Amino acid sequence: MNLELITLPFIVGWMAASVRLATPILLAALGETFTERGGVLNLGLEGIMLMGALSGFVGAYATGNLWAGVLAAMITGILMGLLMGFFSVTAKVNQVVAGLGITILGSGLSTLLFRLFFGLRTIPPTIDMFPELPVPLLSRIPILGEVLFKQNILVYLTFILVAVAQVVLFRSRFGLALRSVGERPDAADTRGIDVARMRYIGLFIGGALAAVGGAYLPLANLGIFWTQMTAGRGFIAIAIVIFSRWNPLRGLWGALFFGATLALQLSLQTLRLPVPSELLLMLPYIVTIIALVIVSRRAEFPGAFATPYTRSGE
Amino acid sequence: MTATSQEVSTRPQINWKAIWRNVYQAGLSVLAALLIGALLLLLNGRNPVDAFASLWAGAFGSVDRFAETLVKATPLLMIAISVSISFRCQIWNIGAEGQIILGAIVSTWVALTFKNLPLVLLLPLTFLGGLLGGMSWSLIAGLLKAYAQANEVITTSMLNYIAIYLLAYVVHGPMMDPQGFNFPQSPLIADALILPRLIPGTRLNISFLVALIMVALTVVFWRTTLGLRTEIVGHSHRVAKQIGLKVALMIALVTGMSGALAGIAGWGEIFGLHYRLIEEIARGIGSLGIVVALLGELHPLGMLVSAFFFAALVTGGNAMERNAGVPFALVDVIQGCVILLILARSYFFRKAAK
Amino acid sequence: MILVEMKNITKRFPGVLANDQVNLTLQPGEIHGLLGENGAGKTTLMNVLFGLYRPDGGEICLNGQPVVFHSPADAIGHGIGMVHQHFKLVPPFSVTENVVLGLPGRPLIDMKAAEAQVAAVAEQYGLKIDPGARVQQLTVGEQQRVEILSSLYRGAEVLILDEPTAVLTPQEAEILSTGLRRMAEQGKSIVFISHKLEEVIKITRRVTVLRAGRVVFSAMTADTSKAQMAREMIGHDLATLHGEQRASVLALAGAEQAAHLEEEAPAEAQEAVILQVENLHVLDDRGLPAVKGVSLTVHAGEILGIAGVDGNGQHELVEAIARLRPIQSGSLAIHEIDATRWETHDFINHQACYITDDRQHEGLILDFDLGRNATLKIFGKQPYSKRGLLQFPAIQAFTRQLMDAFDVRAPTPNVQAATLSGGNQQKLILARELSQSPRLILANKPTRGLDIGAATYINQKLLDERAKGNGILLISADLDELLLLSDRILVMYNGQSMGELAAGRAEIQKIGMMMAGTPLAELESQEATV
């Protein structure tokens, strides 16, 4: 056990890694916050993240351009949001089952397509990832500079996105309308708001962001794709949304916390603690359960959560 | 409200019309899913006819193959029943994978630890171990839902991942076979514990009969007072409270029962099939079991048929990968399509009727 | 100023013709009463005017021009606003957010400016509200004002109010009608939907009566009488009713200052105490005190009515007595046994029953058939199950019996409860509860939303139970019904009892003041000093 390795650089390294690892989950959580504020529960998030990872990887691999990958992921995410919208808003079926179906579909489809495109190779295909992009001046700040301002471009964009999401959700006309649809769709309907359209938009945003979150893994973190690579991050994102009480800014903290747990597990391995690595790997999932339990007792879900809306009399 | 069906069969007469309607709608969904799969193959330059031909041969081509299909159907059927009990109570327990693993781990542990007990005691004890392993894993999520309102989809899926790592830890460490050349697997269970074969020369064993017994028991279950209570809680917690039921207790009970059945499936995989703990136990069975349950409309007899169908798909799919080079993942895609098509079917049929 | 003409409006729903060739004209500056019992088609007609429903036949003309509304937004755009019975407000939002919701404008909302504008419009119409307050913290009367403001803010010239006084105390209703008169003077047209003749006479200038989807009567209010309107509302059936039934029907129609029924033999409350509540404290769903020290007694052979505006603790009180809600402090005795620590199933097993106010989500499982619904509380006992196995023939036989005895109309016991009408659903629930011969009956708004026929039937059954010597606690939002049925009335306000009155000497004015927060003791001392 090499405890003397716990030095300042070690901790700073851990914090920087936390931010990197939090980003994909944060993106998915931001997206799902919009979806759930509109009253739809999208349990297909895991499947969408996997499809996003695949399409991002394939897009970047085929064109040599990472941003093409991001775009491909966004389009994939919107399409899957459309699919989920069909089931939950138009066909008005049970949203939990529809979401599970989409997760299973996304999971299987991403694996299938990957195998069909690339076959089974001994050396897996790789891409060059988004490089580290230090922010001039700010990256020189001791500690914070390392942690916050020496990340890749997607991380920076995600942080900006959190602020944008906060403003859009709570200060804009669109945000007010979206939230009304999630709380009292009949009240929104009476005021001329198209409930179905709002919910679809919420799903498009959710799908696009989740897919980009999934794409982050090959494009900015790992450089390769492997099947089932999201390993439950979609579900963790949903837990964060509940944990954050549907607030993007609080979701940021939640995601950072989980990023820290993931990073911790990696860091602890380098310390060679006498704890088997598999048990460390369980850590994020255990923490998710504990966090969920702490929050759930008092969680106030949006009024019309996961409830299809039909104008009475139709 | 049940997961997919908007219909309630009237009692006590059997509503043949509704059953027929469900059957052919399900059939159409399956057909559509297969067509989508075929389309994907075509788009990728593969020959779907070859693929499906080798799939069919792989599932039914010989007695041996047919027996394999039934072998695969066994855990699927058990999981489907486990899932159906939870789902009909509106408990979205998707932790079957983790519950199988725990059942497998505990029952193997019992077999290895108490190996000196007489067989007549040990075998039932391993069964009990499997049952308790699955039940307790499931109860973690059940109690958290009942008393802390924690969303069970998240907790059970987290527990799935935890169980997978737990299994990895156990077969790499405490339960690793000392004579196993460092392979991640446990020692073999005693020969005497191996479940007897039903058809000599094949892998079909009495765990299949256990699955069939489960089906029969479930049919009876839904006609009991406990079954009715489960359905009442599933339809409306408010009504359940009104009539004096303790909803939290029911949630815990139902989750426990569900987990117990999944744990038994884990026992069946070890003692009927693999004879040792390995990492591949339960892979993919969890989600497949959910699809089987939904395709079977959460009804025991319906699930019997759909388990058979999916088992054929899986067995054939393995052969398809070996012989036609089509990735097994096609089966996963078909799974996903089937769920979505089943969900959509009532919507489509309503539109068509107009 | 808009002249509204609805010409030959027809609207069909599966199995029912809700509006049949209805003609209605609204003059500007007029308050027009739209009368009819529950299910007569008043709300449907107004939903057509408001753009929620498309009519199957007929047309709407505004100032002579035919218009078609595809949605409420269309109707609002043409100056038509509606105040619904169940407010269309988003509770966690502020007043201003609710009012500007859905209105076009800059992408980012300037909340300060919006609040100022909302305050200005409120001022213009004399509506007192706080633009920054959260709607869920407002009183019902205040929330109604926000609803009205929402419509006026969007420039409504025609205002439709659906049973607006159902949720108000008599005094608040008075304030509302003053406000409405002021709006009418400014040229607005107002439709006042009600099934209460007393207030229609006071407020409206013209009245139209609907029955079974058709217009059966229309006149200037001054040219008609309560008796005539009642007759039109109910139809010639009235002539065939007698005694209690007739009084019940008239009471439900708000036709008279309902007098308590005098029986042939004056009913004296019997000695036996069926229910005793002492200083009860109960919390609501949010953990706040809802019942703050209420005491009451119900004797055998009497009906105790609980009056009060919704949300003053009656709901939590009766749920606590039915053991569906924990008791924070105080005590409860049923049949003189201490019931404070009882669980729900103890309550059920001690000859007591609770008739819920939410028949669709608490009283029945709509997806279940009638047999399973009828035996919801008893399927665990013989002969409905033996050793854990359900006995369907016994369940069927029992259900058929109930359906016969309580006039529940359905083809067989195997149909889903969802297919039953509201009245039949409520009768089924009543049948189920009364079949177990309870001696204590808690009835929570048992006739809400029912047509007069079904409501009268249920009232009759409750009176029958009283005659048998059982004790009944009755909550109702309908003061006339309460006065008709109860022996004594207890008024609740803000979680406390404002006092009890013998129904025979009841005066609506007094009850109204108690409902608004003045305890009886204070009223009586005021009287004494006069």
Q: Tens of pLDDT along C197-225?
A: 888 888 999 999 998 889 999 999 999 88
Question: Token pair for residue A158?
Answer: 């995600």
Question: Does A35 reside within a domain?
Answer: yes
* Structure confidence by residue, pLDDT tens digits, C216-254: 999 999 998 877 887 788 776 555 565 666 666 666 666
The answer as to whether A9 is a domain residue is: yes
Q: What is the mean pLDDT of residues B112-128?
A: 91
How far away is chain A from the Cα of C139, in angstroms, using its nearest Cα?
18
DSSP at B188: P
A91, B144: Cβ pair inside 8 Å? no
CB contact under 8 A, C393 and B236: no
Q: What is the DSSP letter of C161?
A: E
Q: Which residue of B has its CA nearest to C360?
A: B239
Q: Using 50, 70 and 90 to split pLDDT, how confident is the model at A4? A: low
CB contact under 8 A, A173 and C105: yes
Residue ranges of domains in chain C: 4-240, 241-351+437-530, 363-435
SS3 label, residue C313: coil
Contacts of C301 (CB under 8 A, 6+ apart): C267, C269, C270, C466, C467, C468, C469, C470, C471
Residue B1, pLDDT > 80, answer no
- Average model confidence (pLDDT) across chain C: 88
- Mean predicted confidence (pLDDT) in A78-82: 97
- Look at chain A and count its residues: 314
Contacts of B179 (CB under 8 A, 6+ apart): B187
Q: How many CB atoms lie within 10 A of CB A249?
A: 13
Which chains form contacts with chain C, at 3 or more CB pairs under 8 Å? A, B
Domain span including residue A107? 3-296
B217 at interface of C, judged by CB pairs closer than 8 A: no
Instruction: State the pTM of this model.
Output: 0.87
Q: Do residues B286 and B83 touch, judged by C-beta distance below 8 A?
A: no
The stretch C496-515 carries a mean pLDDT of 81
Please state, in angstroms and rounded to a whole number, the distance separating the CA atoms of residues B45 and B42.
5
Interface check B294 vs A, CB under 8 A: yes
Pick the CATH number of C241-351+437-530 from 3.50.50.60, 2.70.170.10, 3.40.50.300, 3.30.310.10: 3.40.50.300
- Please give the full DSSP string across chain A, using - where no structure is assigned: --GGG--HHHHHHHHHHHHHHHHHHHHHHHHHHHHHHTT---TTHHHHHHHHHHHHHHHHHHHS-HHHHHHHHHHHHHHHHHHHHIIIIIS---HHHHHHHHHHHHHHHHHHHHHHHH---SS------PPB-PPTTGGGSTTHHHHHSSSBHHHHHHHHHHHHHHHHHHHBHHHHHHHHHHH-HHHHHHTT--HHHHHHHHHHHHHHHHHHHHHHIIIIIISS--TTTTTTHHHHHHHHHHHTTT-HHHHHHHHHHHHHHHHHHHHHHHTT-SS-HHHHHHHHHHHHHHHHHHHHTT----TTTT-----TT-
CA–CA min distance A94, chain C (Å): 15
Q: Domains, chain B, ranges and CATH?
A: 20-353 (1.10.3470)
In degrees and rounded to multiples of 5, residue C400 shows phi and psi of -60, -40
Instruction: Kindly list the residues from chain A whose CB atom is less than 8 angstroms away from the CB atom of residue B46.
Output: 116
Residue B273 has what DSSP assignment? I
Global ipTM: 0.88
Q: Hey, CA dihedral for A175, A177, A182, A183, is it positive or negative?
A: positive
Among partner residues C44, C88, C100, which is closest to A186 by beta-carbon distance? C88
Cα gap B276→B145, rounded to integer Å = 33
Interatomic CA distance for residues A238 and A45, integer angstroms: 8
Q: How many domains does chain A have?
A: 1
Length of chain B counted residue by residue: 354
Helices B152-172 and A233-243, packing angle to 10 deg: 140
The pairing of strands C4-13 and C189-194 is: unpaired
Give CA–CA dist A66/A55, Å, rounded: 11
- pLDDT per residue over C312-353, tens digit each? 899 999 999 999 999 999 999 999 999 999 999 999 999 999
pLDDT of residue C268: 56
* Partner C contacted by B17 (CB < 8 A): no
Q: Which of A171, A187, A313 sits opposite C109 (nearest CB)?
A: A171
DSSP state of C516: T
Whether A130 is in a domain gets the answer yes
pLDDT tier at C269, thresholds 50, 70, 90: low
Mean pLDDT of C448-476: 90
Interchain pair A173, C71: CB under 8 A: no
Q: Which pLDDT band, with edges at 50, 70 and 90, does A38 fall under?
A: very high
Residue A308 forms part of a structural domain: no
pLDDT digits (tens, 9 = 90+) for B7-45: 333 344 566 777 787 777 778 878 888 888 888 878 777
What residues form DSSP beta bridges with C332?
C277
Nearest to A313 among C47, C107, C109 (CB): C47
Tell me if C361 and B243 make a contact (CB, 8 A cut-off). no
In a domain, A159, yes or no: yes
Domain presence at residue A313:
no
**With contacts defined as CB-CB under 8 Å, which chain C residues touch A171?**
108-109
Confidence class for position A232, pLDDT limits 50, 70, 90: very high
Please indicate whether, in this complex, the C-beta atoms of B153 and A98 are within 8 angstroms of each other. no
Q: Which residues of chain C are within 8 Å of residue A172 when distances are taken between CB atoms?
A: 107-109
| Chain C residues in contact with B228 (beta carbon < 8 A) | 372, 379, 390
* Nearest CB to B154 within list A93, A111, A235: A235
**Which of these ranges, A11-25, B315-329, C45-59, C115-129, has the smallest mean pLDDT?**
B315-329
Q: Residue C97: its chain A contacts at CB < 8 A?
A: 176
Q: How many CB atoms sit inside 10 A of residue C244's CB?
A: 17
Contact B289, B302 (CB under 8 A): no
Are C32 and C220 within 8 A, CB to CB?
Answer: no
B13 touches chain C (CB under 8 A): yes
What is the mean pLDDT of the segment spanning B107-132?
A: 92
Among residues B120, B115, B78, B69, the alpha carbon closest in space to that of B97 is found at B78
**Nearest residue on chain A to C18, judged by CA atoms?**
A313
Q: What is the pLDDT of residue C242?
A: 59
Q: What's the CA gap between C163 and C176, in Å, rounded? A: 12
Q: How far is B310 from chain C (nearest CA, A)?
A: 30
A88 within 8 A of A199, measured Cβ to Cβ: yes
Chain B neighbors of C418, CB-CB under 8 A:
none
| A312 in a structural domain | no
The answer to whether the peptide bond before residue B184 is cis (omega within 30 degrees of 0) is no
The per-residue pLDDT for range A118-135, each reduced to its tens digit, is 877 778 888 888 888 888
The single-letter code of the amino acid at C198 is E
B44 in reach of chain C (CB within 8 A): no
Domain containing residue A70: CATH number = 1.10.3470
Interchain CB distance below 8 Å, B340 and A105: yes
- Report residue B41 as tokens: 């193959």
Domain presence at residue A314: no
Which of B11, B225, B238 is the closest to C362 by Cβ?
A: B238
Percent helix, percent strand, percent coil in chain C, to nearest 5: 40, 25, 35
Structure confidence by residue, pLDDT tens digits, A136-194: 878 778 778 878 888 899 999 999 999 999 999 999 999 999 999 999 999 998 888 99
- Can C4-240 and C241-351+437-530 be said to share one CATH topology? yes
Per the CB < 8 Å rule, is A190 touching C92?
A: no
CATH homologous superfamily, domain C4-240 = P-loop containing nucleotide triphosphate hydrolases (3.40.50.300)
Q: Which residue has the higher pLDDT, C54 or B334?
A: C54
